[in-house]
Structure 1
């Protein structure tokens, strides 16, 4: 039952005693030193005071941490995330208790029971952005209708890999009775499959918010009868063999233990071996296995290993049918991070068949 699935959301903080407060009259340098020592602080008076403190935290970290190479960017973001998690803001009756604060519908939707509590300011920023996307929807070049991503669900902000998949689907001549979308997320690949004539798509995800969000957004529409969901890893309850399996896994290997929010971005060392083992059982003899990937990990020097190439050379289960590639558009020139390596980035669509 969908009602039995717990939602991933920022954890409410109920301090046992009052914590130090921050406003524009408080010394910022001293505040940041306290944060580095593990002392939490609460934003008061104006919402903009939280923005000010986060901006000063960025300026402080830039003095001690380089932020140019891909690995340095990861270290910088990790340090920022750790310290900023101690900056809190108070919520009472589903509203932020500071002036000129945004109204965020998620506060009532995700915390119906909680009356008064604190949340990290950076998480509130995420809730605010997410609420705008959820309310207004996002138009993608490969779909006719907008998607409405639920809080905590990854959705694409660049579209090269979706266009690559859409172009492949236009030329696909196999049977279209069923397909499995492993890690359905915001549902984009599944919606593309339905658009191109697949009668039934089975989608799984380990993120409860993906299942809850898609169930809610599809409602009792025609789409809800074409897409069946399961809150589970890999193939979940879908045991029957199918003509097409689609997988858009994370593109970067994990360098540490993952929390739930990282699982859409980083993969652990067991993901691909388990996936290929299970995919072999579910693919019809003439079926196709499509994996959407990228050379991001190789060009950013995170790893030299390519998990799909490794499977083809050592797995003995599948053979290569096609590998299509598409250059990724350059990152926005508004970004402050060094991204020269982006000029080498390509998205990849691997088509494997039974070996």
Structure 2
């Protein structure tokens, strides 16, 4: 970890710096409290000065919202086409995240937050960061994400296909978009293959592994390259009493051996993630998608199938064409024997104010049934 330095009460101070988005420690840090105006805070943050908050916690949240409103006064401009509009949107969101990320808080040696009206964040921070390692400075936006993740982990996400809740961990993509889970729950299982072994590649929370186990597979191997996802999948398998049927392995993309069914729900958008938390949505250059397809045929048992769950949002944004996708499938020695489609049900598909509304409104999520050629 890096170190952040500031002056407080005429004394030099320092602490460890942590950023899930890999932001470098700010070179200029000013102490701020309830007396600072939103215009002043916004101006300093835009100039690159970080503000270490020493006032009331709820006032800090209000200041963050006020700074966000000032940024949002200038909405991202639309490009000449969907791809340019997407990149301009991502650039604007990145600028917004950087500016708001300059409002900082100090976690004490035990992960506690020494601010007026501050909540007890020790458990939430321990879940996200592990055991405390000394005073640490993080952005308030990151802390709010940690708190939100703790609440999701505690109450879970209802998954109708399971008749149960999945409990996402911090940094693991939550199955809030249930249409892709429903596709796996309803698709016809391979006819010529058995129900002995299934692989869930890039398992995340383990939700698809749980669906496959509930559908009758005796042995489901769930993999992921993220240690947080592996811990999350194991936790959910235990909560669902499926540890005897779900084996979590990794960090790796594929496990050893062959399977009657190999399922993968890779990140849908081939763009560079701006933080570790975005890896569930953005796949730089479509690297994971290509790796899955390239390695799939060698992992299929005789008569087995691979199920690729993929949205066409990237196609609608001009980031990938259907022809390119089909070419990658063919080059991997695979052919598609069927495809099941569904429409998204999430609120953003109906948000006409979203710069990407046209693409989101027409989006289709598909389950591609693939076999070796």
Question: Structure 1-normalised TM-score?
Answer: 0.87
Measured in 2, the distance between the counterparts of 1:350 and 1:112 equals 42
Are residues 119 and 282 of structure 1, via their aligned partners in 2, closer, same or farther at CA, if it must alter by over 3 Å? same
The match for 2:42 among 13, 16, 32 is 32
Pick aligned residue for 2:167 from 148, 155, 177: 148
Q: Distance in 2 between matches of 1:23 and 1:310?
A: 57
Q: 2:178 aligned with 1:168, yes or no?
A: no
Match of residue 364 from structure 2: 346
2:76 to 55, 66, 76: 66
2:237–2:243 Cα contact (<8 Å) kept: yes
**Paired positions, count:** 340
Q: Deviations over 1:59-103 (max 9, x none)?
A: 222233426654443222111122222211122232222222232
| Unaligned residue ranges in structure 2 (runs of 5+) | 9-28, 79-84
- The question of 1:106 aligning with 2:119 is answered no
Which one of 234, 239, 243 corresponds to residue 215 of structure 1?
234
Contact kept in structure 2, 1:22 and 1:49, CA below 8 Å? no
2: CA distance, partners of 1:95 / 1:267: 35
Judged with a 3 Å threshold, the aligned counterparts in structure 2 of structure 1 residues 210 and 294 are, in CA distance, closer, same or farther, namely same
Structure-2 residue corresponding to 1:5: none
Q: What is the match of residue 246 of structure 2?
A: 227
* Farther-moved stretch of structure 1 (256-265 vs 271-280): 256-265
Q: Within 2, Cα distance between the matches of 1:148 and 1:240?
A: 29
Paired with 1:138 and 1:277, the residues of 2 have a C-alpha distance of 33
Which residue in the other structure is 1:329 paired with? 345
- For residues 122 and 257 of structure 1, do their structure 2 counterparts lie closer, same or farther at Cα, with a shift above 3 Å needed? closer
Aligned equivalent of 2:96: 80
Counterparts of residues 304-319 of structure 1 (less than 5 Å): 304=321, 308-312=325-329, 314-315=330-331, 317-319=333-335
Q: 1:15 matched to which residue of 2?
A: 5
The whole-number CA distance in structure 1 between the counterparts of 2:126 and 2:293 is 41
Cα gap change, 1:262 to 1:191, in 2 (>3 Å): same
1:178 lines up with 2:188 in the alignment: no
Cα 1:258–1:100, aligned 2, differ >3 Å: closer, same or farther? closer
Q: 1:207·1:260 contact (CA, 8 Å) conserved in 2?
A: no
User: CA–CA distance in 2 between the matches of 1:336 and 1:142?
Assistant: 31
Q: C-alpha distance in 1, partners of 2:115/2:65?
A: 18
Question: Alpha-carbon deviation of 1:24?
Answer: 3.3
Distance 1:335 1:212, change over 3 A: farther
Partners of 1:23 and 1:44 within 8 A in 2: yes
Shift in Å, 1:15:
3.1
C-alpha RMSD of the superposition: 2.5
CA contact (8 A) 1:330 1:343 kept: no
Distance in 2 (alpha carbons) for counterparts of 1:203 and 1:176: 15
Give the match's secondary structure for 1:342.
helix
Aligned residue number for residue 201 of structure 1? 220
Shift of residue 29, structure 1, vs aligned partner: 1.8
DSSP-derived class of the 2:157 partner: coil
